[in-house]
């Protein structure tokens, strides 16, 4: 067999092996980062928790992760970063994280609703009441719609 074909097979095999493992690794990394951030936050080490989450959020997700899942994971991380910034008394930073999360797209889900809530909080802390009201309103509309769905399903969720 020609060496070129051997190279094709080796490359395809390596790609398949790496490609299959990368998404699981990224998901595992996300879950691990949140677990570590939980532990740090419990000890009051909010800055370190935020640093870990920020590092994760800035890492490039593997291409094999479905866009919806990528958005969910990253928006969850950004919402948590915004929350941590608010708890550290830094609304400007919280606003930046909330904006970064919302820039990934908005959906009819808890991730968008959480980011709108935290952005509203940041706007309120910065004295921008009108913008805060808009974000609170959007968050409530979303959460109430999702709540109505959940209750229609029996509320056992």
Partner 1 sequence: MTFEENPPTEAELLQAELLARALEDPARAANDPTPVEDALGAAWMLRASRRAGLSELRARAVLDRAWPKRTWPVRAAAVALAAGAAAVAILAVRPRGPAELPPPPVPLLQAQIAAARPAAPAALAALEAESGAYRAQLYRALGRAYGGAR
Residue 43, interface with partner 1 (CB under 8 A)? Answer: no
CA–CA distance, 156 with 29 (Å, rounded to integer): 30
Give least dist CB 103 to partner 1, A.
20
Residue 44, interface with partner 1 (CB under 8 A)? Answer: no
CA–CA distance, 47 with 89 (Å, rounded to integer): 11
Residue 5, interface with partner 1 (CB under 8 A)? Answer: yes
Give least dist CB 10 to partner 1, A.
9
CA–CA distance, 133 with 127 (Å, rounded to integer): 11
Q: How many Cα atoms within 13 Å fall on the side-chain side of residue 54?
A: 16
Number of residues that bind partner 1 (CB under 8 A): 65
Residues 117-136 that bind partner 1 (CB under 8 A): 117, 120-121, 124, 129, 132-133, 135-136
Residue 55, interface with partner 1 (CB under 8 A)? Answer: no
CA–CA distance, 91 with 97 (Å, rounded to integer): 10
Residues 69-108 that bind partner 1 (CB under 8 A): 69, 72-73, 76, 79-80, 83, 86-87
Q: Which residues bind partner 1 (CB under 8 A)?
A: 1-2, 5, 8-9, 11-13, 15-16, 18-20, 23-28, 30-31, 34, 38, 63-69, 72-73, 76, 79-80, 83, 86-87, 109-110, 113-114, 116-117, 120-121, 124, 129, 132-133, 135-137, 139-140, 143-144, 146-147, 149-151, 153, 155, 157
């Amino acid at each position: 067999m020609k060496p070129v074909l051997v190279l094709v097979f080796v490359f395809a095999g390596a790609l398949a092996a790496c490609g299959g493992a990368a998404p699981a690794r990224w998901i595992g990394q996300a879950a691990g980062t949140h677990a570590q951030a939980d532990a740090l936050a419990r000890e009051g080490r909010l800055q370190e928790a935020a640093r870990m989450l920020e590092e994760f959020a800035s890492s490039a997700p593997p291409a094999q992760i479905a866009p919806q899942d990528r958005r969910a994971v990253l928006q969850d991380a950004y919402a948590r970063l915004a929350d941590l910034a608010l708890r550290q008394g830094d609304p400007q930073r919280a606003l930046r994280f909330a904006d970064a999360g919302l820039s990934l797209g908005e959906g009819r889900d808890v991730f968008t609703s959480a980011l709108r809530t935290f952005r509203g909080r940041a706007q309120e802390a910065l004295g921008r009441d009108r913008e805060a009201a808009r974000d609170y309103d959007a968050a409530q509309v979303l959460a109430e719609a999702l709540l109505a769905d959940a209750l229609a399903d029996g509320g056992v969720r």
